[in-house]
Amino acid sequence: MDKNILVVIDGQNDFMDISGSALPVTGAAEDMSRIAGLIDQLGHQLWDIQLTLDTHHEYHIAHPVFWTDSQGQSPAPFTLISLSDVTSGKWRARVPNHQAMATEYVETLAKSGRYELVVWQPHCLVGSWGHNLYQPLYNAVSSWEKQHLAIASKVTKGSNWSTEHYSAVKADVVRSDDPGTQLNVDFIQSLQNADRVFLSGQASSHCVANTVRDVVDNFGAEPLNKLYLMADGMSPVPGFESLSDDFFRDMKAKGVNVCTTREAASSLQRAA
């Protein structure tokens, strides 16, 4: 059997466009239902399933409560905070002892070329319904585990409150005192050891894009054409569609495959 790995990035309730979700991504529920169908249909061709889980606390540098203006008000979700916003005092850390760190953080983001700091609605909070996998996806993965007497790998990210962690490979700003923010060598190696890697999840503008970019940057001599982005298994955060478009264009240029779930299924069937 070929070592085919399915990666599902952040297929969690809070990203689904369903009632009660904190940060709905238009089309996400249909995306994940297609992935669940792929698992149900061709799970016997999957050597491993890897699930990344966005994992946050209420107090986080990318959540409203961290920041305040001169009137004591927090920024609204989707507010962009630049270095000049922080140095000018437009936005400052609500905890004074965190001000220097916050300034250094947005400065590092600006220098690194990573995304500008976005304030998000609190989401995927530890212990909450929103942190759980979307039920159809959970059901499919659970059935796969029982049928194949295997355990789907789980990769958590985002629990460090002082840095954004879109990518499952590393945080936007790595913390020297927290290995959980540093390069996830085990995750990279597991994909290097695969024959083919099928990637999906939410959102194509942020967590999928950053994860795959970091995988590509750290893939060494392994051929990038073993990576398959299932375009109908991921969607962008509304308002950030251009980031998704840039991501697909850049990955195609590097030799990463872009396909549909149906094409991925056909590929798996041919390998049977």
Q: At what angle do helices 261-271 and 28-42 cross, to 10 degrees?
A: 10
Statement: residue 271 has pLDDT above 80: no
* Confidence category of residue 270, pLDDT binned at 50, 70, 90: confident
pLDDT surpasses 90 at 73: yes
Residue 212 — very low, low, confident or very high, per pLDDT cuts 50/70/90?
Answer: very high
Domains in the chain and their CATH numbers?
4-57+124-271 (3.40.50.850), 64-118 (no CATH)
pLDDT tens digit sequence for 16-36: 999 999 999 999 999 999 999
pLDDT of residue 87: 96
* Span 138-144, average pLDDT: 98
Q: Is the pLDDT of residue 1 over 70?
A: no
Q: Tell me the per-residue pLDDT of 248-262, one tens digit each, with 9 for 90 and over.
A: 999 999 999 999 999
Select from 124, 136, 121 the least CA-distant residue to 30.
136
Q: Measure CA 164 to chain center.
A: 11
Res 268: pLDDT: 85
In the chain, % of residues over pLDDT 90: 94
Q: Which conformational region is residue 268 in: left (phi greater than 0), alpha (psi within -120 to 50 degrees), or beta?
A: alpha
3-class secondary-structure state, position 32: helix
Q: What is the dihedral of CA 120, 122, 125, 130, to 10 degrees?
A: -90
* pLDDT 10s digits, 48-66: 999 999 999 999 999 999 9
Spatial distance between the Cα atoms of 171 and 183, rounded to a whole number of angstroms:
8
- pLDDT reading at 179 higher than 80: yes
Q: How big is the CA angle at 54 (ends 214 and 215), to the nearest 5 degrees?
A: 15
What average pLDDT does the segment 219-224 reach? Answer: 93
Q: What are phi and psi of 151, to 5 degrees?
A: -120, 120
Rounded to an integer, the average pLDDT of 107-114 is 91
